[in-house]
Amino acid sequence: MGGATPLRTDKTVAHWSGQFTDPTNGATYGYTMVGADPATNGSTTTPTDVIPLNLVFSANNGYALNGNDVVRRTVNSPIFQTGDYSSTARSGDYQFDTGGGELSAGNSGVQYEDAIMRSQFDKVGSGYHVRLGQPTVHAAVTLTVPQSKGGAFSTSDGVALGLTDVTWFSGRISQLMGQLGVDPTHLPVFLTNNVMLYIGSSDNCCIIGYHGSTVVNGHGGGPAGGNGNQGVQTFAFAAYTAPGTFGDGQGGPDPFLRDIHALSHEIAEWGDDPFVNNRVNPWLTPTAPQYGCTDILETGDPVVGIGFTMPGNTYDEANPFADGYFHPEDEVFLPWFARQDPNTTSQLTQSGSGGRYTFMGDLNPYPGFRAPATGC
C-alpha cells in the first residue's frame, strides 16, 4: 500500500541498501531492507505498536468483531516472542505433508523475522539480528462499517468472518496514522479479528493483510515537504485469522491460512521491502497465480498459504478447528528473485540447488522453490 523513498536524513525505521545484477537479463536492481547491513553483523530493534481495530457492521445490526480480543494471542505469538527454529512439528501443505525436520539449524531463541533474516543472509550464529520490540498496545479503535461497505458472514464451517471494502478501510487507516501520531521510527501494526478486505465487491476477496509506507504529515519531527527531514512511516495491517476460515486443518484447502499467517507474511515483506519500492525482474509462480506477473520484491507472495507450525497457541482452544500451534508462513529469500543459480548466499542447503531459496528449504513441498524464480 502506498510507497515512499526516504532520503538519508529522513526519520524512519533503521534500514540499509544493496544491489544485485540479474544474470538472466544483465540488469542491476537496488533494494532497501530493514535493519543493519548484514555485512556489519549489526543488531537492530524496531519499536512496535499494536493498534487493535474493533469493526462494527451496520449491515448486521451492529454485530462486532473486535481486534481487542486477539491482541494477547498475537503479542504472545512467534512474531514477538522467541522460539526454536531448528526443527518443526509439521510443515508444507497438508496435501503434500513433508513431516517434521530441520528448519534452520542453530536458529533458536529468536523471533520469527529475526530467524528469516539470519537465514537469508547466512548469519545464523552471528551477532546479526533484526528484532521487533515488545509492542506497545494502544487502546482499541472502533470503526463502524457503513452498510454499503461490508458485512459479517458465517462460513460454511460456522466461523464468523467480517468483510469490508479495501478502499474504505485503507482510508480509515490513513486517517488513524495521522491522528495517532505514531513515531516514524516505530512499526504500527493494525490488527483485526478475522476481518478481511475485498476489492469492489465481497465476491472479490480476501485481502488478509498488507504493508506500506507513506510520508507523515505533521508527526515526523519535521515538515513533509521533501527537504530531507520529514518522517516516512512504515506500517502493516493483518487479520488474525480464525482456524477454520479457509481450511479445517485436516486436509482441507489452505490449512496454514490461520492465526498469525497473515501477520508473518506482512512482517517478512516489511523486512525485505519496507518502503514498497524494491523492484526486480518480473516473476510468476503457479503456487500464487493471484499475483500474476509482478516485479515487486515481496517475499511472502510466492509462498502464501505454505507454512510450518510453532508450538504455544493455547488461545484458540475453544475453536473446534484449533490444533494448538501457530502457523507462520515460509518466505522466499533474495537469491530467488535475483536468479542466483546456485544460491551461494546461504549455507542452509537443500536438494539440488546449493543454498536454499526459501526459509523452509526441502520442507517446502513444491519443487519449483528449489530453483530461482522463472520469468513471465
Residue with cell 546479526: 128
Q: Look at residue 367 in the predicted model and tell me its pLDDT.
A: 87
Among residues 374, 376, 372, 349, the alpha carbon closest in space to that of 360 is found at: 349
Q: Look at residue 253 in the predicted model and tell me its pLDDT.
A: 59
In whole angstroms, give the CA distance from residue 73 to residue 259.
Answer: 9
Q: Look at residue 222 in the predicted model and tell me its pLDDT.
A: 40
Mean pLDDT of 24-34: 96
- What distance lies between CA 62 and its chain's CA centroid? 30
Backbone angles phi, psi at 265, to 5 degrees: -55, -50
Asked if the model's pLDDT at residue 71 lies above 90, the reply is yes
Mean pLDDT of 233-261: 84
Give me the chain's average pLDDT, please: 89
In whole angstroms, give the CA distance from residue 210 to residue 207.
Answer: 8
Neighbours of 136 (CB within 10 A): 13
161: Cα within 13 Å, side-chain hemisphere:
23
Q: Look at residue 220 in the predicted model and tell me its pLDDT.
A: 39
Asked if the model's pLDDT at residue 1 lies above 80, the reply is no
Task: Report the percent of the chain where pLDDT is more than 90.
Answer: 65
**Better-predicted residue by pLDDT, 90 or 207:** 207
Q: Look at residue 347 in the predicted model and tell me its pLDDT.
A: 63
In whole angstroms, give the CA distance from residue 277 to residue 33.
Answer: 10
Q: Look at residue 321 in the predicted model and tell me its pLDDT.
A: 87
Q: Where do the structural domains in the chain lie, given as residue ranges?
A: 15-365
Nearest 10 degrees: CA dihedral of 301, 207, 322, 51? 100
pTM here? Answer: 0.93
Residue 221: pLDDT band (50, 70, 90) is very low
Mean pLDDT of 318-334: 92
Q: Look at residue 362 in the predicted model and tell me its pLDDT.
A: 86
Residue 372: pLDDT band (50, 70, 90) is very high
The one-letter amino acid code at 145 reads V
Q: Look at residue 161 in the predicted model and tell me its pLDDT.
A: 95
Asked if 84 contacts 108 with a C-beta cutoff of 8 angstroms, the reply is yes
Asked if the model's pLDDT at residue 4 lies above 90, the reply is no
Among residues 263, 200, 259, the alpha carbon closest in space to that of 235 is found at: 263
- Of the ranges 172-186, 249-263, 269-283, 318-332, which is most confident? 269-283
Asked if the model's pLDDT at residue 135 lies above 50, the reply is yes
Using one digit for the tens of pLDDT, what is the confidence trace for 45-58?
999 999 999 999 99
Angle of CA points 76, 82, 85, to nearest 5°:
120
